[in-house]
Structure 1
Amino acid sequence: MNEMNDTNHRRLFNATVSDTLHQALRIIHDDPALFLAGSSIILHQKKASARRNNYEKQGLIVPAVMIISITLRCNLACAGCYMMGRGQKPATEMSPETLASVVDQAAELGVSVIVIAGGEPLVRQEEIFRMARAHPDILFPLFTNGLLIDETFTSKITGCRNIVPVLSFEGLREDTDTRRGSGVYDRLLISCSLLKKQNIFFGCSVTTTRENFDRVTDEAFIRQMIDTGARVFTYVEYVPMEPGTENLVLTREQRKTLNTALPLFNRKFPALFIGFPGDEDIYGGSLAAGRGFVHVSPSGDLEPCPAAPLSDVNLATVPLKDALYSRLLSRIREEPGLLTETSGGCALRANRVWTKKAGVL
């Protein structure tokens, strides 16, 4: 990949992160506490972006976003779960000290957003609160199945306005219960009610498939979710982690429709609409491998993407700054073909045979 083009793509993504934060600020402008916290995060983001640019001049690529899957443990067994579909044997989770250190190092390097995922991350919620309190200017989107949200949790999170819970829905009741289990949808509505009561800025994450696409992009669904209090909609394109589910991947036309619809929704509704992985065409391919984000596994492996369990370095033994020089991440960024996947899903997973040929692992 042309180095100048890749630099421009990273700057474009940095601008997208900044624009997204400003959109969120407009949504919460009537809430003094949220607005103050959001303003602080935006101010920090500008400083963090400058820090990343300085590191890039020294040859170190620091991503704007880090995704940390802090546990494999979960109280659900959802069909097509990407974490279970990674096919890895259970490994020891990062200790509380290691996890906190990774976040400290990311903050020091200029990471703006740290996404907390799992498994079900709320099985380690006390650690999440400690990290958020230690870094009030970093945004911590928290992707959760929502079933462990109770009054105790919502009371605590009022003191951590930089945590944004993102609850997993598959659509309305039928779609959600089909994938996640009978009764889950109604339990999620209770969690939303608790968050709304405390005026927590929260949202929903929708695994978007070929089957539910029309339903979850319908304005009726959006309005119903807004009524629950959701102010963030994250549309996560389905990645076929299980054989035989490739027919659930969005069609090319659906992906184009989604990329066109989300900006329109952002203007029409009092909520923030985000697509993942987003319109990769404008970024020259996938944002994985540090071009926009990296992933840390529960055991501390630094990986290019949550759906691609490939790593040649572990953060329990190697400082993050050194790990970002990873040969694997560097080689992936140097091979533009690896970051382009035309049939949907994860580009790196589709090209995983390359790692053996390249001899980087």
Structure 2
Amino acid sequence: MSFARFQKRQKKGEFFPAFNFISVTDDCNLNCQGCWVMGKEKNSRLKPEQVDRIIDDTKKMGSYFFGILGGEPLLYKPLPQIFKKHSDCYFQLFTNGTLITPEVAETLRQCANVTPLISFEGDEQVADVRRGGKDVFQSANTGIDNCVKAGLITGVAISVCKSNLEMAMSPQFIQALIDKGVAYLWYYIYRPVGHQPNYELALSSDEIRQLRQHMVDARMKYSIAIIDTYWDADGKGMCPAAEGLSHHINASGYVEPCPIIQFATDHVDEKSLDRLYAESGFLGDFRTQIQQKTKGCVVMEDPRWLAEFVQKHNAKNTSGRKGELERLQLATEANSHGSCEVIPEKSRIYRFAKKRAFFGLGAYG
């Protein structure tokens, strides 16, 4: 398994992330609050041969799980061919769901190695505001239905913020997903980034604690897998990028610590991924120094420290927006999971699974 091989490399003093997350395109049909992709001067797309090489390089290191992001990845036309070509891999498709017609769902079913993870950001009133679109709630619901009817293992993700916290923790919301046949529900915390960060949506420390307690309790209560990103198997906060579990390759081919830290010194066209990860001083120092600094999200807790760090490494602004460094220097600090009290897991199965089996489903930083 990918995670077991990752652990063996760690014991040998070698490094290659357990999972790679790939943004295949910046193109999107929505304009979400807090999106790290919008506002670019020019959108980028990876070439199919670049995606193939990334996957091939990763497979050589014994990792066969990938997160596919955007923008909206379903706007990337070569995607089904990539899935079919790499039939020995498994892909988690991060999508807003609005483009999943019955035909698209059937195409994904035929690939037989894709789980769609559909963003579900609020009810009829909240969703359109959060996602910058029209009838987004209904469109996402239709996408979920089409995936389930096609027989796909379908997940729902919700970026929890002040405007959807109550809904995210409500029994009605969770039961509605169960009734639809959704297999897993993935909670993550809203991160105020991008050209429209909307800091007022960020959760307070008490709200983060409420969310964490809810997830721990929900795992024991509902017949749906409840997955989180920011806590380890023992309930302690963590940064997946700092742990080395995952790094992010953006649509321009730059390798970033995670999707919201949009600075890099390394590009996939420069060398093979095993050499890139072994030789990158920027990524290596990030993993070491963040471990000593916080178990939370440094972008939220100390953006000015991060600005100093990328300057020391002369890292390139890979956001596609001018003034990203200045934005970090002036950013408002926000609460993250790093300050949350330790709330131990109650589910033995989840503890075991997160520690040994499906860490990829919780490694997206």
TM-score range, shorter chain: 0.7 to 0.9
1:232 to 170, 179, 184: 184
Deviation at 1:57, TM superposition (A): 4.4
Counterpart Cα distance in 2 of 1:185 and 1:92: 27
1:70 to 24, 33, 55: 24
Q: Deviations over 1:105-156 (max 9, x none)?
A: 11221335311110000012542x3333344453311111112111221212
Deviation at 1:305, TM superposition (A): 0.8
- Match runs of 1:275-286 below 5 Å: 275-278=228-231, 285-286=238-239
Query: Is this contact kept in 1: 2:25–2:44, CA < 8 A?
Result: no
Deviation at 1:348, TM superposition (A): 7.4
| SS of structure 2 residue aligned to 1:300 | coil
Query: Is this contact kept in 2: 1:327–1:360, CA < 8 A?
Result: no
| SS of structure 2 residue aligned to 1:235 | strand
Aligned to 2:218: 265
2:267 to 314, 323, 327: 314
Output the amino acid matched with 1:227: D
- When residues 53 and 119 of structure 1 are mapped into structure 2, their CA distance, relative to the original with a 3 A threshold, is same
2:209 to 252, 256, 269: 256
Output the amino acid matched with 2:154: F
Matched-pair identity in %: 26
Q: Deviations over 1:276-324 (max 9, x none)?
A: 3345995664121562210010011111010001111100222111111
The two structures, once aligned, show a CA RMSD in angstroms of 2.7
2:3 to 27, 46, 49: 49
Q: Deviations over 1:244-302 (max 9, x none)?
A: 62232122222222223223322322212112334599566412156221001001111
| SS of structure 1 residue aligned to 2:76 | helix
Say whether residues 1:192 and 2:144 are aligned partners: yes
Query: Is this contact kept in 2: 1:234–1:275, CA < 8 A?
Result: yes
Q: Deviations over 1:158-200 (max 9, x none)?
A: 2233211111111222221222222111122222222222221
Greater percentage in helix: 1
Counterpart Cα distance in 1 of 2:156 and 2:60: 29
How many residue pairs are counted as aligned between the two chains? Answer: 312
Deviation at 1:92, TM superposition (A): 4.1
Greater Cα shift, 185-194 or 140-149: 185-194
Say whether residues 1:94 and 2:46 are aligned partners: yes
Deviation at 1:344, TM superposition (A): 8.1
2:115 to 141, 161, 164: 164
Counterpart Cα distance in 1 of 2:98 and 2:156: 13
Deviation at 1:359, TM superposition (A): 3.1
Aligned to 1:300: 253
Q: Deviations over 1:66-118 (max 9, x none)?
A: 2111110011122321222xx65436422101111101111221335311110
- When residues 120 and 91 of structure 1 are mapped into structure 2, their CA distance, relative to the original with a 3 A threshold, is closer
Deviation at 1:337, TM superposition (A): 6.1
Query: Is this contact kept in 2: 1:171–1:221, CA < 8 A?
Result: no
Counterpart Cα distance in 2 of 1:356 and 1:189: 40
Counterpart Cα distance in 1 of 2:166 and 2:61: 41
Query: Is this contact kept in 2: 1:308–1:348, CA < 8 A?
Result: no
Greater Cα shift, 269-278 or 297-306: 269-278
Greater Cα shift, 57-66 or 164-173: 57-66
Aligned to 2:126: 175
Deviation at 1:341, TM superposition (A): 6.8
Output the amino acid matched with 2:142: I
Aligned to 1:5: none
Say whether residues 1:354 and 2:308 are aligned partners: yes
